[in-house]
Structure 1
């Protein structure tokens, strides 16, 4: 428990918090320049999210895939890998879950729904493992591979839906079987028919798994060691190539789960998409805000989901363009990346604290 609490007392948490505040302030400045009232805008934003049970439930639904795609990027980053392929892994996981949810008939829900979720997780992991294998065996940079595989994943997902599950006359698949749904009906009714589902619970458990696996197991230690220094890890007797593939597979499992939950718990069908939905890329932003820490990712997804979902309320109630929220999010990421600026801002506070201790 003491180690867990350290996550929230480290210098990185202070830097992230200051970065968020600076990002919000910069967004307020942009609003003032555009002739908008930032106080009214931010009030409308948070009122949209937390003003009633329906919107609160929908905001949680918005945060759920961000948690998982954020964990996907953060897990790979802890192993020294830059998994920018969460988008493709998200789509492949979604497609696998869709096919299992549509094509299998006559199964009880207690078997069908978990089977569809597992299919999404496994196929997302295997899709990421391809990039890991090419990195480990052929030395191919995972960034390049992942970017290419994002496009392949998009077109492969569309091809599979077109060929095997297309609803006649529509640009989407047929609905999944009711037995494959992971919606929480009783909670949804309590929250005004908000699209809440069991995926949120699993996403929270995934963050706990991330922490325990990465910091409390031998395999997690090896992954972090490989991320710090591959040569030293190899000299210590670790199988570097196997750990690279393993890290990418687990990373892809997180992203694949995000895609599976979207189709099984939210939409219950899969569209033929002209472009990527962007959830995997948003997960990178969430992971950066959370400093690649599993519990930081949870907080980052709450912030990102609140800002993203609440931007519609800001637009309707305060007439502020929702694009300004992207300025805020971009500013937060900028300040997190440019930690020298943030350290310069907080340095007087640390200096004052040290003086008080001396006195």
Structure 2
């Protein structure tokens, strides 16, 4: 009982710290402003914003099945957001989560199809491992070229997105296409399917895996030498190098871990939702990961909360579209406004610092 009490006290302290932190307050205000501005735009467009929001959030959290779908949609977003966040904390900009998600999904699908006769307790981890390695190597390629040839990782990861998407399209179209008109692979073996946490929904044990990864990454960032060195590079590259941190090795490992997490996002979609790889299966989870990381202030727990919010927006948009005739694309506008308002304090601070430096140099 004493241990349970201590655990409860610890959790309350952490929750209090989260809700009173500057980053959380900035994100919360940004969300509120985005809702207000979005509501004004809706009103000027001839729609009732209150009806829209009631239907949207009712569609996301109205009953247990809708909550399950929201969390199911949030699962790949959690992993992609964490992938981008860990790269940014290490001073890297990984915009290639979408491509890493695709190669991870294909690796999981191929492992699930061709590795037959394994029990689920071995087959599922094997598929997950294959996805993580594939995504990690894809991101690691960008990291390696950055180190060896000094090529900007932003350009590399963007270009590798297209290569990954078209490569997996080619494989599923001409290599392992299932019979029929739909461009998809055969179903993965039953032993490779992630168990559902709620019937007839997208929610699987992949969500539990994603949450565990969030807290493992949080622990790694705060309690391990690797995590501290990674943050040192992100905060001050020159100081970290002077302190003896191997910048090249750290960058490469960071990109590999980031890509591995994005690859896992592809695996949970293939193994838990579709049960096969289908052409164009991602609605942009990897790109949303960048927005989620920004909204979550590159904090693992912040990413978790932001991803669930994005999952709610995506899930609720379908109900809003059906009930109010407001296009579901309106959610994209809300997401853009959220990111604009999150970025605004940083933009203002950067402008103030620039003005101060200019005045100092003038004097």
TM-score in terms of structure 2 length: 0.89
Q: 1:320: how far off?
A: 1.6
**C-alpha contact 1:213 1:219 (8 A) present in aligned 2:** yes
**C-alpha contact 2:61 2:312 (8 A) present in aligned 1:** no
Give the corresponding residue for 2:311. Answer: 305
Which stretch of the first structure deviates more once superposed, 219-228 or 91-100? 219-228
The structure 2 residue matched to 1:295, chosen from 298, 301, 310, is 301
Q: 1:342: how far off?
A: 9.2
Q: 1:54: how far off?
A: 2.0
Q: 1:236: how far off?
A: 1.2
Q: Structure 1 pair 27/254, CA: closer, same or farther in 2 (3 Å)?
A: same
Q: 1:73: how far off?
A: 0.5
**C-alpha contact 2:73 2:202 (8 A) present in aligned 1:** no
The structure 1 residue matched to 2:247, chosen from 240, 243, 250, is 240
1:322-352 deviation line (CA, Å, top 9, x unaligned): 2222111111100001116999xxxxxxxxx
Q: Name stretches of at least 5 consecutive residues in structure 2 with no aligned partner.
A: 1-9, 350-363
Give the corresponding residue for 2:201. Answer: 194
1:226 aligned counterpart, secondary structure = helix
Q: 1:41: how far off?
A: 0.7
1:203-245 deviation line (CA, Å, top 9, x unaligned): 0011101111111111101111111222222221111000000
Distance in 2 separating the partners of 1:155 and 1:320: 33
1:125-181 deviation line (CA, Å, top 9, x unaligned): 111111111112221100000011001111221222234421023311100000000
TM-score in terms of structure 1 length: 0.90
Question: How many pairs are equivalent?
Answer: 337
Q: Structure 1 pair 342/305, CA: closer, same or farther in 2 (3 Å)?
A: farther
Which stretch of the first structure deviates more once superposed, 304-313 or 3-12? 3-12
Q: 1:21: how far off?
A: 0.1
Distance in 1 separating the partners of 2:88 and 2:213: 16
Mapping of residues 163-202 of structure 1, within 5 Å: 163-170=174-181, 171-184=183-196, 187-189=197-199, 193-202=200-209
Q: 1:47: how far off?
A: 1.1
The structure 2 residue matched to 1:280, chosen from 286, 301, 312, is 286
1:38-63 deviation line (CA, Å, top 9, x unaligned): 11110011111122222221111100
Tell me the C-alpha RMSD between the 2 structures.
1.7
**C-alpha contact 2:90 2:230 (8 A) present in aligned 1:** yes
Distance in 1 separating the partners of 2:305 and 2:322: 26
1:188 aligned counterpart, secondary structure = coil
Q: Structure 1 pair 3/58, CA: closer, same or farther in 2 (3 Å)?
A: closer
Give the corresponding residue for 1:316. Answer: 322
Distance in 1 separating the partners of 2:24 and 2:348: 12
Q: 1:120: how far off?
A: 0.5
1:41 aligns with 2:47: no
1:8 aligns with 2:25: no
Mapping of residues 93-242 of structure 1, within 5 Å: 93-170=104-181, 171-184=183-196, 187-189=197-199, 193-242=200-249
